[in-house]
Amino acid sequence: MPKSAPEAASIAPEVLAKYEAVIGLEVHVQLLTRTKIFCGCSTRFGDPPNTNVCPICLGLPGTLPVLNKRAVEMAMRAALALNCTVHDHSRFARKNYFYPDLPKGYQISQYELPLATGGWLEVEVAGAKKRVGITRLHLEEDAAKNLHEGFSQSATKAYIDYNRCGTPLIEIVSEPDMRVPEEAYAYLTELRQIMLYTGVSDCNMEEGSLRCDANVSVRPRGSKEFGTKVEVKNLNSFRFLQRAIEYEKNRQIDVLESGGRIAQETRLWNQAEGYTVSMRSKEKAHDYRYFPEPDLLPVHISSAWREEVRRTLPELPEARRTRFVNSYGITPYDVELLTATRTISQYFEDVVAAGAPGKAASNWILNELIGLLSDRKKPFQDSPPPEALAELLRMIESKQITAAVGKKVFATMFESGRTAAEIVASEGLGAQVSDRAIEQAAREIIAKNPDNVAKFKSGNEGVFKFFVGQVMKATRGQANPQAVNDILRKLLSS
Ligand SMILES: [Zn+2]
């Protein structure tokens, strides 16, 4: 029986310190194609069960798959962004096994000749950068989905939704280069960001478009040999990933410390209980009897096509982060947040391009904008146009309004869609903030016009309009006339 969580967690720190974990990740990413990989059925998520199916994806006899070119192109994009070599020739293979969610009795995947190999990505944990190797990236079709709940006879019957069957996936296998759960977390975070930036997937973990399994083993610190590895499945959130690897590492150390031996097996992470349980032994694992898929031609990728795809790659997250730190003087922590998605970082660039200072744009997006969006539970797409935020930031920069008033203006802009200048003018907000500026302008004008001051003091009320006009002119008409009146009266009668 597997050790339960409390025992594994109660290992002494000095015992834990004797070992190190060796971690590799296998990540499945659903590609954002409109149609499936071998037929024209829609890949849309959330449609009624079994409405996006045809004889090909249902695996009926006599049908032939046709490869979706867009899926190959997206897989290539992902591979190039991960620094992989995309091979001229690759080939699909049949992975044979029987399961109800796989109507053909085999999955079309890639085996001996994958699309791409030999890449890497860089992760950063506690300020230390590290390269994690990527062994391979291959294309395959997804299986259908078993629905265990929510139907009238769920207790006694299995329900299967074949809509997902045949959706294009890429499987990305890392080298066993990670040593602590935090590195695995950083790897998956970076990988997800690259997939989002390149637009190959929406990486929605809740909808299953990003799935992760971990291979975990432990060995005495300093040893070069690998221990027996265990595959941990069902890591469907970033938090689970870290917890599950931590748990599994401790469990294996506990087994070794009590004189046991690690069984090569697949274990399932049970999030509710917080431990992994044995699912099946790898020693008894079935042989998939891979063989080249006879119904599909080998995949040939010309260097012209590969280079064309390479040219269309966007700036990747790491390059963008470095550029933001260097060009705008934003802290690495803020840059991390600002580049979390391509949409946010592009919005930032558009605000700066429209004339806002970089540092101020970053602060406003990360504090005011994100705050307003989350308060009102709105998506980022509902942000004011970048030009509108830039105008507001320029008004603050030129001291037409204070930052405090700017926040009020921004909230109004967010609700009404009106521009900052309109809001400031119609609500007299410019005046509120520039009381000091009005007073300064008024003092200067009074000092320059001793004759008119004398006239006013001798009872010539008409000359007051002259002063108001001059102050309004000096404040470019932005001041609140009432405030100008009040301030002038106070100064002239003192
Ligand atoms: Zn189909």
Distance 343 CA to ligand 1 centre (A): 32
* pLDDT of residue 273 exceeding 60: yes
| pLDDT at residue 87, as a whole number | 98
User: What residue type is 1 in one-letter code?
Assistant: M
305 pLDDT tier (thresholds 50, 70, 90) = very high
Distance 98 CA to ligand 1 centre (A): 20
Is residue 216 a contact partner of residue 63, using CB atoms and an 8 Å limit?
no
**Helix (H) / strand (E) containing 146:** strand 145-147
Q: 321 — phi, psi (to 5°)?
A: -60, -45
Distance 172 CA to ligand 1 centre (A): 25
| pLDDT at residue 110, as a whole number | 97
* pLDDT of residue 9 exceeding 70: no
Is residue 137 a contact partner of residue 84, using CB atoms and an 8 Å limit?
yes
Q: Give the Cβ contact number of residue 23 at 10 Å.
A: 26
Q: With the CA atoms of 192, 195, 196 and 201 taken in that order, what torsion angle do they form, in degrees rounded to the nearest 10?
A: -110
Is residue 53 a contact partner of residue 41, using CB atoms and an 8 Å limit?
yes
434 pLDDT tier (thresholds 50, 70, 90) = low
Q: For 424-452, what is the mean pLDDT?
A: 82
* pLDDT of residue 431 exceeding 60: no
Distance 162 CA to ligand 1 centre (A): 9
- Classified as helix, coil or strand, 275 is strand
* pLDDT of residue 239 exceeding 90: no
| Average pLDDT value for the chain | 91
280 pLDDT tier (thresholds 50, 70, 90) = confident
Distance 142 CA to ligand 1 centre (A): 12
Is residue 80 a contact partner of residue 310, using CB atoms and an 8 Å limit?
yes
Distance 78 CA to ligand 1 centre (A): 24
What does the pLDDT look like over 119-129, one tens digit per residue?
999 999 988 99
User: What residue type is 386 in one-letter code?
Assistant: P
Share of the chain above pLDDT 90, in %: 73
Distance 48 CA to ligand 1 centre (A): 15
Distance 42 CA to ligand 1 centre (A): 8
| pLDDT at residue 1, as a whole number | 44
Distance 107 CA to ligand 1 centre (A): 14
At 210, list the tokens. Answer: 């990003």
- Looking at per-residue pLDDT, the higher value among 408 and 35 belongs to 35
* pLDDT of residue 364 exceeding 80: yes
| pLDDT at residue 433, as a whole number | 47
Distance 39 CA to ligand 1 centre (A): 5
272 pLDDT tier (thresholds 50, 70, 90) = confident
* pLDDT of residue 205 exceeding 60: yes
| pLDDT at residue 435, as a whole number | 79
d(CA 175, CA 121): 11
What does the pLDDT look like over 10-40, one tens digit per residue?
789 999 999 999 999 999 999 999 999 999 9
Give the Cα-Cα-Cα angle 116, 120, 123 (nearest 5 degrees): 150
404 pLDDT tier (thresholds 50, 70, 90) = confident
d(CA 309, CA 303): 10
Give the Cα-Cα-Cα angle 358, 364, 369 (nearest 5 degrees): 135
d(CA 397, CA 401): 8
Share of the chain above pLDDT 70, in %: 96
- Looking at per-residue pLDDT, the higher value among 274 and 132 belongs to 132
Distance 159 CA to ligand 1 centre (A): 19
Looking only at the bridges linking them, the beta strands covering 19-30 and 168-174 are: antiparallel
Mean pLDDT lowest among 48-52, 59-63, 405-409: 405-409
* pLDDT of residue 468 exceeding 70: yes
304 pLDDT tier (thresholds 50, 70, 90) = very high
Distance 27 CA to ligand 1 centre (A): 24
| pLDDT at residue 262, as a whole number | 94
Is residue 125 a contact partner of residue 187, using CB atoms and an 8 Å limit?
no
Is residue 400 a contact partner of residue 360, using CB atoms and an 8 Å limit?
no
Distance 163 CA to ligand 1 centre (A): 8
Using the structure block, give the residue that is written with the tokens 């973990």. Answer: 205
Which residues are registered as beta bridge partners of 276? 269
Distance 36 CA to ligand 1 centre (A): 7
Mean pLDDT lowest among 12-16, 80-84, 185-189, 470-474: 470-474
| pLDDT at residue 6, as a whole number | 45
| pLDDT at residue 128, as a whole number | 92
Distance 100 CA to ligand 1 centre (A): 17
**Residue ranges near ligand 1 (ion) with Cβ within 5 Å:** 39, 41, 54, 56-57
Distance 147 CA to ligand 1 centre (A): 20
Pick from 291, 325, 476: nearest CA to 400: 476
Distance 53 CA to ligand 1 centre (A): 4
Distance 141 CA to ligand 1 centre (A): 11
Distance 304 CA to ligand 1 centre (A): 31
Mean pLDDT lowest among 220-224, 385-389, 419-423: 419-423
* pLDDT of residue 188 exceeding 60: yes
Q: For 173-183, what is the mean pLDDT?
A: 97
| pLDDT at residue 477, as a whole number | 67
Q: For 97-113, what is the mean pLDDT?
A: 94
Distance 81 CA to ligand 1 centre (A): 29
